[in-house]
Chain A
Amino acid sequence: MAPVAPRSGDAIFANVERVNAELFTLTYGAIVRQLLTDLEEVEEVNKQLDQMGYNIGIRLIDEFLAKSNVSRCNDFRETTDVIAKVGFKMFLGVTASVTNWDADGTCCSIVLEDNPLVDFVELPDNCQGLYYCNILSGVIRGALDMVSMKTEVTWLRDVLRGDDVKLLKHVPEEYPYKDD
């Protein structure tokens, strides 16, 4: 059987059921607010959001692989490209770009020009340490974990903290492509 061609993020997004982004944004806001009330410490909230994202990531990868026809990536560059162009598009309807590669090709930044999670959000002074969208980095880490890639995902810049670029992610660490 001939291999199936991978589908573009746009094509997948056009074919899946969709919901209003504001429902999504406001629901996420409600989650963050609950966490801030329950956990009190901003650091703890960051951790919990990351954990929730990880839980999502390990489930989301199945749907991603099933719908995208993407086969195993040959290197980390290809992986990040797929995340930025297909992954973000397919689930959030937005496109991200990849920049800032280090010399070894093990670390790069993903730039989100448009992030539905941050609409209507303003961080109060006492939440300055909060990585509001930390759930997204958890999702990426969890999803990649399921395809045997250990990564670290951290936030470099965030529009909610007054940086101009919407936000910037960064994925270092070794990524063992084990040959089975």
Chain B
Amino acid sequence: PLTKGKQEVSLSAFAFLFSELVQYNQTQVDNIGELERRLEDAGYAVGARVLELLCHRDKGNRRETRLLGILSFVHSTVWKVLFGKVADSLEKGTEHEDEYMISEKELLVNKFISIPKDMGTFNCGAFVAGIVRGVLDGAGFPAVVTAHFVPMEGQQRPRTTILIKFAEEIRTK
């Protein structure tokens, strides 16, 4: 039987675990791109399961078939369950028709992380990008999903933007 899913663990338990995930993967790679790819893979596995779980529990086994439907499912339902809040924003890319962005001022996985200078653009948000890709892929909307830091005026820390670029066949659907 599916539980309600209201149980919680302490944030530090998650932070400790996540940091081990990152550190372990660092030992397995020799460049940043590879590290992000591995974190994304780990996230993908989480996303695929989250989709299944939430469809059973919250949506009476129905799946979204519309692009905007699945995007708002990610932005609202998935985010709420995983991170306890709806994502700060969901926007359509202005330059490309097939791009969408989910932004978060303080993404959970980046909360305790500061990236050393020599690791350049590395972003732990790759894990969350993987979760998003896992959900979208499982729902039949394959996409390339990446995480980026976007500096914000007047703020010390950049926000994290998850960029979603849908595959060709989705655009023409």
CB <8 Å contact, A93 and B24:
no
The one of A20, A56, A135 that contacts B84, using a Cβ cutoff of 8 Å: A20
Given A19-B83, A20-B82, A56-B17: A91 and B45 interface contact (C-beta under 8 Å): no
| Chain B residues with a Cβ closer than 8 Å to the other chain, count | 33
CB <8 Å contact, B16 and A59:
yes
Q: How many contacting A-B pairs (Cβ < 8 A)? A: 109
Interface of A: prevailing SS: helix
* B interface footprint on A17-34 (CB within 8 Å = 1, 0 otherwise): 111111110111111011
Question: Which of under 10, 10 to 19, 20 to 34, or 35 or more describes the interface residues of A?
Answer: 35 or more
Considering the complex, which residues of chain B in the window 27-43 have a beta carbon less than 8 Å from any beta carbon of chain A?
28, 38, 41-43
Determine if B68 is an interface residue (Cβ-Cβ < 8 Å).
no
Chain A residues near B23: list those with CB within 8 A: 55
26 contacts between A and B (CB under 8 A): A19-B10, A19-B14, A20-B81, A21-B5, A21-B7, A22-B53, A23-B46, A23-B81, A23-B83, A24-B13, A26-B49, A27-B14, A27-B18, A30-B45, A31-B21, A31-B24, A33-B42, A34-B24, A55-B20, A59-B16, A90-B10, A91-B13, A92-B10, A93-B7, A93-B10, A135-B17
- Residues of A near any B CB (own CB < 8 A): 13, 16-24, 26-31, 33-35, 38, 48, 52, 55-56, 59-60, 63, 90-93, 116, 119-120, 135
- Residues of B near any A CB (own CB < 8 A): 3, 5, 7-14, 16-18, 20-21, 23-25, 28, 38, 41-43, 45-46, 49-50, 53, 81-84, 108
